[in-house]
Chain A
């Protein structure tokens, strides 16, 4: 007997290389449109996914390209959920500080704004660690209003 397939979710595994960012953000944008969001919202979801995957590649994996980043898109009646798993360094609580953009003009530096974009463009941003598997997860949720 064939197993039941849940058509409301699917997965994509990419190498931890920035060359695939455009592929992933394009997918996120299309998925948002499928979920029923408008173009502007789809653009926001895609940039949030870009930032999350970039964080994994550059910070969790320190730019090493031989690892994997696993994405799962879940379509529910309430929301589009994008789960991103990796086996690199997890984000610590003290790193979850949203910068004040105006402070940037006084103390310019590269990076640090990605988390702010993720939090502004998504309804929920969650970071989880699974000690059993050693994997870390970033979960982005956009609710369907």
Chain B
């Protein structure tokens, strides 16, 4: 089994990215490229549904940080949902839960951005 697989689907104007497995220095380039492809395609609102993400190291956090400015400059955002406890701890320890909007599940995240996009 690969260390990391990534699925992407579009829900309205939100690109939902589902990384499954481990994001570390070995797999981070795949994760980064998946997000970069979305941004290059003009999909600036990205939801990371981390339901199947078992592990993320600072390499993965750096990849998210590397794109946040670009998406926000285009009135988009990177949202997080379905964080497993150990993954939440990593985000929270580094203060990322203050910098990013974190939701319990995907539907809550989608509902939160829907009104903004209508407005």
Q: Which residues of A approach B to under 8 Å, CB–CB? A: 18-19, 21-22, 25, 39-40, 43-44, 46-47, 50-51, 54, 57-58, 101-102, 104-105, 108-114, 116-117, 120-121
Interface size on B, residues (CB 8 A): 26
Closest to A118 in B: B58
* Chain B residues with CB under 8 A of A102: 95, 98-99
Closest to A19 in B: B26
Complex Cα–Cα for A123 and B85 (A): 21
Point out the residue from A46, A54, A110, A117 that lies within 8 Å of B66, measured CB to CB: A110
Contact present for B58 and A51 (CB under 8 Å): yes
Which of B10-18, B36-44, B86-94, B103-111 binds A?
A: B86-94
Interchain nearest-CB distance for A97 vs B (Å): 15
Chain A at the B interface: mostly helix, strand, loop or mixed?
helix
Q: Which of B53-99 contact A (CB under 8 A)?
A: 55, 57-59, 61-63, 65-66, 68-69, 85-86, 89-90, 93-96, 98-99
List the count of A-B residue pairs having beta carbons below 8 Å apart: 86
* Chain B residues with CB under 8 A of A57: 25
* Chain A residues with CB under 8 A of B31: none
Complex Cα–Cα for A10 and B95 (A): 35
Complex Cα–Cα for A54 and B28 (A): 12
Contact present for A58 and B25 (CB under 8 Å): yes
Contact present for B58 and A113 (CB under 8 Å): yes
Ranked nearest first, the 5 interchain pairs of A and B with the lowest CB-CB distance are A101-B95, A18-B26, A113-B58, A43-B86, A110-B62
Point out the residue from B3, B24, B68, B94 that lies within 8 Å of A113, measured CB to CB: B94
